[in-house]
Amino acid sequence: MKLSKITSYLEGKAPISLQEAYDNSGLILGNTDAEITKVLVCLDADIDTIEYAISQNCQLVLSHHPTVFKAIKNFTLQTRESSILIKSIKNDLALYSSHTNFDSAEGGLSDLICAKVGLKNIKVLKSYSYDSAEYGAGRYGETEPIDGNNFISKMKSKLGLDTIRYVGQIPQTVIRVAVYNGSYDRDIMNDLTRISPVTLITGDLKYHDAQELIYNGIFTIDAGHYGTEIIFVDEMANMLEERFSNLNIIRYKGKDVFNYHY
């Protein structure tokens, strides 16, 4: 199967035009006429991932996070991005990313997390416009009233997490929940206060942003960047297996870059 057929399907599900301005989703490396029989799906296309894909004779690595965000001026083995590209080129390995476009797309990561924690009446948190339809970053919805501590335990179980961080006072009852996977963005504060009281699930929360959330009375669960996005691997693999029965799909979850000492 030609690479172009796979990328057309992916971009039908999550159009590149949905990506954030800073992003670099889409085909990063490869020939659209290349024949693809085996695909590795991952969160990060780092050097370990690339080496594993090569060992498994894959022709395509489909990652959530782009290998390259900014222009590369020098291709040497001394930089992370260049090392990945050089090894991929030498082994005829195509690289494709479905990042913030997949986050914002219908059925994308934000919607998946909402489904996992059992939210209903789901709406877009930070809206844009696209072909006269509403789309945007993040989601919010409602759960059956649940004790705050029980909600935290439920969320940890559904996302497969052993530990989380949180800021603010754990609410007695959780009803409205917002989801902003990956890295928290302070630009959503107005959207959060608009729908408050709300519990926020996010990742990569910075200290001063946490202070602002506390000041605005928004209880926030920081489930981590990896923790809120690793579900991409199974979802994307399932999508490809359902659409292309003749493709061999490999799931590669790697591990969180952060370790914890208990």
Q: What is the DSSP letter of 57?
A: T
Tokens 């501590």 correspond to 149
Report pTM. 0.93
User: What is the three-class DSSP state of 22?
Assistant: coil
Beta pairing, strands 199-202 & 173-179: parallel
Paired strand residues for 202: 222
Of 126, 99, 98, 91, nearest to 200 (Cα)?
A: 126
Which option is the CATH number for 106-225: 3.40.710.10, 3.40.1390.30, 1.10.3720.10, 3.10.580.10?
3.40.1390.30
Distances in Å between the Cα of 222 and the Cα atoms of 62, 65, 196, 210 are 26, 19, 18, 10
pLDDT tens for 98-124 read 999 999 999 999 999 999 999 999 999
pLDDT tens for 49-98 read 999 999 999 999 999 999 998 888 888 888 889 999 999 999 999 999 99
Paired strand residues for 94: 60
Give ranges for CATH 3.40.1390.30 in the chain: 3-102, 106-225
Rounded Cα distance between 61 and 51, Å, is: 11
Rounded Cα distance between 250 and 126, Å, is: 33
Tokens of residue 179, six digits: 């989801």
CATH, range 3-102: 3.40.1390.30
